[in-house]
Amino acid sequence: MQPIQGIHHITAFASDPQRNVDFYHTLLGQRMVKTTINFDDPGTYHFYFADEIGTPGTVMTFFPWPHARRGTPGNGEVAATGYTIRPNSADYWRHRLTENGVTIGTRHMRFGQEVIPFRDPDGMALELIVSDEPATIQPWRGSPIPAEHELRGFHSATLWVDSAEHTAAILLGQFNYTFVGQEGNRYRYKGASNDIGVYIDLLERPGQPRGSQGAGSVHHIAFRTVDDTEQAEYQSQLRLAGYHVTDVKDRQYFHSIYFREPNGVLFEIATDAPGFLYDEPVETLGTTLRLPPWLEQHRETIENAVPKFNHPALAAQS
C-alpha cells in the first residue's frame, strides 16, 4: 500500500453560480472541467475547476447555493487553500487580481516562500505561493492566462485545528506523510508525490471556536489513492484504527470514502481513476451538464431545478 500522494481535490460552498464560474474559470484560468450536480443533493450544481484535464491536485470544486449565507471561519476546517505560482508570475498575478477588483492581503513569507493572500467572491481564503518546486500540470490550452503564468495546482491547504497532535497522527501514522517543520503555531506535513498538492499545514488555535459552514467555507478535503484496491486497504486500516469511515461512494470520476478527523475536518480519500475524461472528450470537457446514469432519467426535472448560468467557454464560441 503506497503512502498518500497528496491532495486530490478540495470542495467548498459558494453562493451565486455565475460569479463562481466567472472567478475561477475566467479570472483564475482554472478550466471548468465538469459541470454536474451534487449526487447527494441533485438540485444543487457541482462545479469542478482544474487544469486542462482535471489532474488530481489541481481540482477545486463547489456546491453553489444562490443567496446562501456566508460561513464563519473557525477551527475544524480547511481555512485557506494555496496554489503554486512560479517566481516570474508574482507580478503578473498581483496586477491581474488588482485590476479585477480583488483585494490582495499582506504579503508575507512562510517556510521561505512568498505568500500572496486574497479571497474569492464568497470570502473564501486563497493564497498564491511563489515556489519553484515540482508542479506537473496539463496547462489548459484555452486558458485566458499565458501558459507561463498559469496556476500550477495546489501548493498546500491550511487546516485550523484545536490541537495539531491528533490530525498529525493521521497524516504521519495512516497516510505516511512526513513532518517538514514548524513556524510559530503552523506545523507542515508533506505527502509522498513530491509534486502538486503535497503540503498540509496544521494551524494550531487552542480554544478558538469552531467554524460555521456556509458560502465561502470548505466542506471537505480529499486525498489521493490510485485505485479501488488501494482505497479499500485504507478503508480497512482506518477502521481498524478506530475512525468512522463511510462505505465507498461512486462519484463517477473517482470513488470516495469519508471520515471526520478528530479536530472536525471532513477528510475524503478519492481514487485517481477513472478521471474526468470518463464521460466526455477533452475538447468539450465541462461544457454540458453531466449526470450519473442513475440520475439520467430525472434529467428534465434536474435541468429545471438548477439555476441558469452562462458557461464562459460556450459564450466565447458564439
Residues that bind Zn ion (CB under 5 A): 11, 222, 268
| DSSP labels, 255-281 | EEEEEE-TTSPEEEEEES-S-TTSSS-
Q: Which is nearer to Zn ion, 150 or 268 (CB)?
A: 268
Q: Which is nearer to Zn ion, 198 or 222 (CB)?
A: 222
Q: Which is nearer to Zn ion, 68 or 222 (CB)?
A: 222
Q: Which is nearer to Zn ion, 222 or 306 (CB)?
A: 222
Least Å distance, CB 90 to Zn ion, is 30
* Grid cell in block for residue 234: 485504507
Least Å distance, CB 21 to Zn ion, is 19
d(CA 61, CA 23): 13
Residues comprising the chain, all counted: 318
Q: Which is nearer to Zn ion, 75 or 256 (CB)?
A: 256
How far the first Cα of the chain sits from its last, in Å, is 49
Least Å distance, CB 8 to Zn ion, is 8
Least Å distance, CB 114 to Zn ion, is 29
Beta carbons of 302 and 37 less than 8 angstroms apart = yes
Beta carbons of 35 and 45 less than 8 angstroms apart = yes
Least Å distance, CB 220 to Zn ion, is 6
Least Å distance, CB 268 to Zn ion, is 5
Q: Which is nearer to Zn ion, 171 or 222 (CB)?
A: 222
Question: What secondary structure letter does DSSP report for 215?
Answer: B
d(CA 33, CA 56): 12
Q: Which is nearer to Zn ion, 261 or 268 (CB)?
A: 268
d(CA 189, CA 161): 14
Least Å distance, CB 10 to Zn ion, is 8
Q: Which residues face 61 on adjacent strands?
A: 11, 48
d(CA 212, CA 210): 7
d(CA 150, CA 139): 7
